[in-house]
Structure 1
Amino acid sequence: MQTVPPRPQAIPSINFDAIRRSSKDSTIQSHSVDGNTHYKITEDYSLTDALGRIEFIAEELLKDDLPLFDVQVTAGKAGVYSTPLSTALIEVLKTDVTVIHERFPFYVYHPYIAVFMRLAQKYDLYHWASIYHSLSNNERVDVARRVNHMCEALRDECRSKAFKKSMKGHLALVRKNHKSLHRYIDALFVTYARLLVIRIDLDYLKGAQPARDWTQARQHRKQIIVFINKELPRLLQSEFAQAAGQGSIKVPGYVICAEYGADAGWHFHVTLLLNGNDSCRSVDIARLVGEHWNKQIAQGVGRYYNCNAHPSKYKSWGIGDVHWWDMEKREGLRVAIAYFGKADYYGNGLIQGNDRFLSRGGMPREKKKLGRPRSAPSRVGVPEAPDLQGTALRAALLLPRIWQTEVPF
């Protein structure tokens, strides 16, 4: 006999006021009717939030075989007891995510989402979820059993060999990007004992045309790369090197990830990897890049976020000074870089062709090292190197999905 999960504690209601205050784009709107406040979730928020929730729910369902709803019969009368996960499922089914095909014509669903949506339609759950709160007790029992049957079917399909094969193909590009980026970072640490890691997020003002036009955004990305390779070294030389009596400053490496968010549109995550012996002024260098983006490239419709100016928010992401022997910071850097290597499902749904959303600098040339081998400071010691590649990959797959990711303004 299948074990029935215990009756859950009361589920707290969603604090819409807190969500609305934290929403930078007013994706949750309110209006007053007869003295009561009513809330409306706008389409962009509904789509991005629902897709992320569906994937999360599918992953949670695969962790066990318990029914999502607890249907119990007492004195000949059936009753339904919800769990936090079943409540979340009913709520997400109230959003018609199928309209994403209209807005993103080439969109390819994550395998979990594709299975979930197909089975939800098969069991007619979109209709019943939309009127769930007005259903009678018997009707709710019927919906609960439909949901439990859907969950059983989802588990069977997602555990099949065919599905696992499709998941493997789905993650192939992500794994390829991760391996390429990890080799790149490791090669830079072979050449440079200390890297100055600078992170800048670039995007557009709300309503700006390039935010929704990949042709313009792609051209802007090319201009960012030209600036990093040619103009930034000259700026660094004039701003910092001459004052310190140093020689020329170069930009050994960079990683640029283009992403599309349903709310923010096209935006770029830029990571600069400088020789840590050349400069330590990461905040000022990030400001140079951000101001050039605003004034010269985006020409007044751009904005930027200087991550290095807020180190407490990114202390585990390996920004600032990173020494070759500091495995904790290097692991954080790998996690951040692995995040850039994930698939952009929205971006891929907007364009056709083989455009790449991930760009990086060339591999550093191997130099013959003279003198004694490197040694870590004795006060720190060198811990056994963890499986950074595996750790970073797992962490990246657990980070918020692309449809939930916006530049943090």
Structure 2
Amino acid sequence: MKGDEERLAALQSKIGLTVEGIEVGALNNGLIAIMKSASWLVRRLIKTEGDAFKIRVVDDFGNARLESNAPGNILLRLLKEHIPNGSRFNSLYKFEPYLDMAISRLIEFKLYPPPPLLQVSTASEVRKLMVHLNECVEQIRQEVKSKSFLATLNSYQRSSNKNYKELTEYVDALFERHARLLVLRIDLSYSKENSRTTQAQAKQDRQRLFENARSNKLFDDMVGYIWKLEHGPEKGFHYHMMFFFDGSKVREDITLAKRIGEYWTEVITKGRGLYYNCNAVKLTYASCGIGMIEHADAELRAGLCKAVFYLTKTDLYMKLQTKGRGMGKGLYPSPKGARGRPRAVIVV
């Protein structure tokens, strides 16, 4: 347990976990780490026993101070986490069940956003605060045992696991049909002046992109795609896209991704949009899962699985409340004929 705490502290120190600079709702490692840390603290808290806080008299005038036991230390750490707060964020996102339940209790006890806690005061005031905090911790412990919470937890976990499973099966099906795939990762967003583009407009732009792809030569050799809708305070609504092209017919992934990005900005959004070409910087990734990938290349296939997981891992800790689907993929490819030499089995 101590080793986990040290690793978590090192991670927080390394990435500087503050709300400032966090692209809320985007696939941002800092934000995901905050959610993971807070969720981990809640899970530790519910396993504790005994009072979270106690009081200690400090002088002969009846003054006392609040002292924390092990559960109290965890609660104080949770209150210090820079969990995003605000009506717009909370209306757009729902936290994973452990964190959502804990935040609800903290709000109920007027502890979120965290207020300044008494350092030294009269014994009666400190005792009142102690009882208040201990009751909050006990309610969090009891809530996770309820049937309603367990049902919510099971549903949430099934949904997150299902998304990743469906997408990896889809990618495997594309490789069963094609000997090699040219994989593009492009973020499609809007300019700062258009960051308040509505979810409905973003959906309309996405639908137009894929409808136009049917008759646009730029997409002639596209065999599949994956999209994920996200939201950030600076970008507003935006998409994380993966495009799959038949690697036997096209090459030059950086150029192709650039052309698709320009098509988004110039044609689909008529100048309102922006794009980011991930393929242009793919060599900087520790585990590259984009570019040209052969069916038998286990290393790049594994990197591609990580890239797919990256698209879904925000949902492990919080989910965007979308009107309709927040993630989608293309149609499964038709099965390949039995003729030809069978491929080697690749385990990723």
Pairwise TM-score range, normalised by the shorter structure: 0.7 to 0.9
TM-score, normalised to structure 1's length? 0.64
- Give, in angstroms, the shift of residue 255 of structure 1: 1.1
Q: Determine helix, strand or coil for the equivalent of 1:230.
A: coil
Residue 48 of structure 2 is matched in structure 1 by: 65
Residue 178 of structure 2 is matched in structure 1 by: 192
Residue 367 of structure 1 is matched in structure 2 by: 336
Q: Determine helix, strand or coil for the equivalent of 1:325.
A: coil
Q: Determine helix, strand or coil for the equivalent of 2:237.
A: strand
State the alpha-carbon separation in 2 of the partners of residues 155 and 84 from structure 1: 15
Deviations 1:348-383 (A, max 9, x none): 2xx4xxx2222322111112132332248xxxxx6x
Q: Given the superposition, is the C-alpha separation of residues 292 and 140 from structure 1 closer, same or farther in structure 2, using an over 3 Å criterion?
A: farther
Residues 198, 272 of structure 1: 8 Å contact kept: yes
Residues 65, 119 of structure 2: 8 Å contact kept: no
Confirm whether residue 333 of structure 1 aligns to residue 300 of structure 2: no
- Give, in angstroms, the shift of residue 188 of structure 1: 0.7
- Give, in angstroms, the shift of residue 65 of structure 1: 1.8
Q: Given the superposition, is the C-alpha separation of residues 141 and 273 from structure 1 closer, same or farther in structure 2, using an over 3 Å criterion?
A: farther
Q: Determine helix, strand or coil for the equivalent of 1:235.
A: helix
Confirm whether residue 305 of structure 1 aligns to residue 305 of structure 2: no
Residue 116 of structure 2 is matched in structure 1 by: 131
State the alpha-carbon separation in 2 of the partners of residues 269 and 59 from structure 1: 27
- Give, in angstroms, the shift of residue 118 of structure 1: 2.7
Residues 55, 65 of structure 2: 8 Å contact kept: yes
Confirm whether residue 117 of structure 1 aligns to residue 115 of structure 2: no
Alignment of 1:3-402 (within 5 A): 23=21, 53=34, 56-63=37-44, 64-65=47-48, 73=56, 80=67, 85-91=74-80, 97=86, 99-100=87-88, 104=91, 108-126=94-112, 129-132=114-117, 136=121, 143=129, 146-208=132-194, 211-231=196-216, 234-235=217-218, 250-316=221-287, 318-341=289-312, 343=315, 345-348=319-322, 351=323, 355-375=324-344, 385=347
- Give, in angstroms, the shift of residue 271 of structure 1: 0.5
Residues 66, 119 of structure 2: 8 Å contact kept: no
Residues 290, 304 of structure 2: 8 Å contact kept: yes
Q: Given the superposition, is the C-alpha separation of residues 130 and 230 from structure 1 closer, same or farther in structure 2, using an over 3 Å criterion?
A: same
Q: Given the superposition, is the C-alpha separation of residues 87 and 93 from structure 1 closer, same or farther in structure 2, using an over 3 Å criterion?
A: same
Residues 253, 361 of structure 1: 8 Å contact kept: yes
Q: Given the superposition, is the C-alpha separation of residues 74 and 283 from structure 1 closer, same or farther in structure 2, using an over 3 Å criterion?
A: same
Residues 320, 326 of structure 2: 8 Å contact kept: no
Q: Given the superposition, is the C-alpha separation of residues 206 and 166 from structure 1 closer, same or farther in structure 2, using an over 3 Å criterion?
A: same
TM-score, normalised to structure 2's length? 0.74
Residues 93, 126 of structure 1: 8 Å contact kept: no
Q: Give the letter for the 1:345 counterpart.
A: K
Unaligned runs of 5+ in 2: 1-5
Q: Give the letter for the 2:144 counterpart.
A: C
Q: Determine helix, strand or coil for the equivalent of 1:167.
A: helix
Residues 212, 266 of structure 1: 8 Å contact kept: yes
Q: Given the superposition, is the C-alpha separation of residues 84 and 251 from structure 1 closer, same or farther in structure 2, using an over 3 Å criterion?
A: farther
- Give, in angstroms, the shift of residue 157 of structure 1: 2.0
Residues 93, 125 of structure 1: 8 Å contact kept: no
Residues 227, 329 of structure 2: 8 Å contact kept: yes
State the alpha-carbon separation in 2 of the partners of residues 19 and 79 from structure 1: 27
85-94 or 160-169, larger mean C-alpha shift? 85-94
Q: Given the superposition, is the C-alpha separation of residues 78 and 140 from structure 1 closer, same or farther in structure 2, using an over 3 Å criterion?
A: closer
Q: Give the share of equivalent positions with the same residue, in percent.
A: 25
State the alpha-carbon separation in 1 of the partners of residues 165 and 17 from structure 2: 37
Deviations 1:57-92 (A, max 9, x none): 243231342679675859886563698854443335
State the alpha-carbon separation in 2 of the partners of residues 144 and 52 from structure 1: 30
Deviations 1:273-307 (A, max 9, x none): 11222233111011001111111111112111100
State the alpha-carbon separation in 2 of the partners of residues 291 and 137 from structure 1: 66
Q: Given the superposition, is the C-alpha separation of residues 280 and 67 from structure 1 closer, same or farther in structure 2, using an over 3 Å criterion?
A: farther
Residues 53, 133 of structure 2: 8 Å contact kept: no
Q: Given the superposition, is the C-alpha separation of residues 317 and 140 from structure 1 closer, same or farther in structure 2, using an over 3 Å criterion?
A: farther
State the alpha-carbon separation in 2 of the partners of residues 179 and 204 from structure 1: 30
State the alpha-carbon separation in 2 of the partners of residues 94 and 257 from structure 1: 23
Q: Given the superposition, is the C-alpha separation of residues 75 and 213 from structure 1 closer, same or farther in structure 2, using an over 3 Å criterion?
A: closer
State the alpha-carbon separation in 1 of the partners of residues 304 and 31 from structure 2: 30
Residue 4 of structure 1 is matched in structure 2 by: none
Superposed CA RMSD: 4.2
State the alpha-carbon separation in 1 of the partners of residues 166 and 327 from structure 2: 11
